[in-house]
Amino acid sequence: MRNVDPLIEVDFEDSVFITLLKNLKPGQKLTAAAVLTALDEDGDTESFEETDFLVVPLDISDLPKATLTGELGTRLRLEQQLAGEGKLLTGLEENDPLRLYLEEIAAIPVCGDITLLSRDLFDANLAEREAPELWQKLLNLSLSRIVEIACEYTGYGVQLLDLIQEGSMGLWQYLPRLCGEDFEAMRDHCVRYVMKKLLILQAYANGVGQKMRQAMEDYRSVDERLLTELGRNPTLEEIAEALHMDAESAGSVKEMIEAARLVHRAKAEPQPDPQEEEQAVEDTAYFQMRQRISELLSSLDETDVQLLTLRFGLEGGLPMSPEEVGKRLHLTAPEVVAREAAALAKLRKEG
């Protein structure tokens, strides 16, 4: 189980993943291929684990399904089949750990309304009052949903019980961010986020990055050979035929190459001149979010404006953690988290 602390401080200058985020154009996503390329070149799993991608979601649509053999491969194929058929409880042995866990959470009594409880937790945070009983109730009400989301990611090389545990731990750690409005939507987003991180790290451990590198090298080699032979750029279908694969698979490899180029550009890009930095940042997806918030700040009181400005770096600085913001505004970290959630909820209603 990995600890993914949403408030951990990351070196914004040294992390290739932060650089990747800053270089994404509006509408672009950070793909598994881009992450695996960076990991394959640097082997820096720590900075990837510590980077927060909640603003720009991870996209694992280009992550190949695992083709494992042996006992683990058999287990993964069974879980994928049973999850697809909706027969996890009936299809597993009675003493199977996953079945026992599913039976355990099915027996947990309903402990309240999730919307009302999330508002109660918001009030508790605002009053700087610890409320572990509310945390536990919200987690219990979400366990079945975590299982449903985990079933979406079968076949990628991670057993369901590990995915479920990762999702549960991630939700527990992100709960302070999710209180108030849109709790269920934000909960699902965060659970998927931590699961995707686990899947990418497992793929890297299984050597998927190296396999992607070989596939990209084969693609480039065939592309160059056909260019020489045909005297023109070959079509995707022609490249696919030469590689003995279908056009869809060849298209996936082409997308991997584009992702690799994004990584190389991010790593090679020099630090911008201070006078040019603002213009460079304006082209990123991160700036688009900051700009939209800036347009709506007039509806908030002065303290909340300062809080969001510091949290999101709206005046050109780096985003600050709740602890750092609290020191500036003479607030506690829970107060910062609570006020941020309330302010963003108000902005969503007005925006």
Average pLDDT of span 263-277: 54
Give residue 146's pLDDT band: very low, low, confident or very high (50, 70, 90).
very high
pLDDT at 195 over 80: yes
Give residue 267's pLDDT band: very low, low, confident or very high (50, 70, 90).
low
Average pLDDT of span 156-181: 82
The domain 275-350 having CATH identifier 1.10.10.10: the answer here is: yes
Mean pLDDT in the chain? Answer: 76
Give CA–CA dist 216/34, Å, rounded: 12
pLDDT at 7: 32
pLDDT at 12: 38
SS (H, E, C) 293-330: HHHHHHHCCHHHHHHHHHHHCCCCCCCCCHHHHHHHHC
pLDDT digits (tens, 9 = 90+) for 95-140: 999 999 999 988 888 888 887 887 777 777 666 666 778 878 888 8
Strands, E, within the chain: which ranges?
A: 30-31, 58-59
Give residue 320's pLDDT band: very low, low, confident or very high (50, 70, 90).
confident
Give CA–CA dist 205/45, Å, rounded: 10
pLDDT digits (tens, 9 = 90+) for 332-342: 888 888 888 78
pLDDT at 194 over 80: yes
Give residue 315's pLDDT band: very low, low, confident or very high (50, 70, 90).
low
The separation between the first and the last C-alpha atoms of the chain, rounded to the nearest angstrom, is 38
The total of other beta-carbon atoms located within 10 Å of residue 85's CB is: 10
Is-contact 199 170, C-beta < 8 A?
no
pLDDT at 263: 63
pLDDT digits (tens, 9 = 90+) for 232-261: 788 888 888 888 888 877 777 777 777 666
- Domains of the chain: which residue ranges? 70-205, 275-350
Average pLDDT of span 45-50: 74
pLDDT digits (tens, 9 = 90+) for 289-304: 455 556 667 778 888 8
Give CA–CA dist 93/202, Å, rounded: 26
pTM above 0.85, yes or no: no
Give residue 283's pLDDT band: very low, low, confident or very high (50, 70, 90).
very low
pLDDT at 149 over 90: yes
Per-residue burial over 249-279, b = 16 or more CB atoms within 10 Å of its CB, e = otherwise: ebebbbebbebbebbeebeeeeeeeeeeeee
pLDDT digits (tens, 9 = 90+) for 65-92: 877 778 888 898 999 999 999 888 888 8
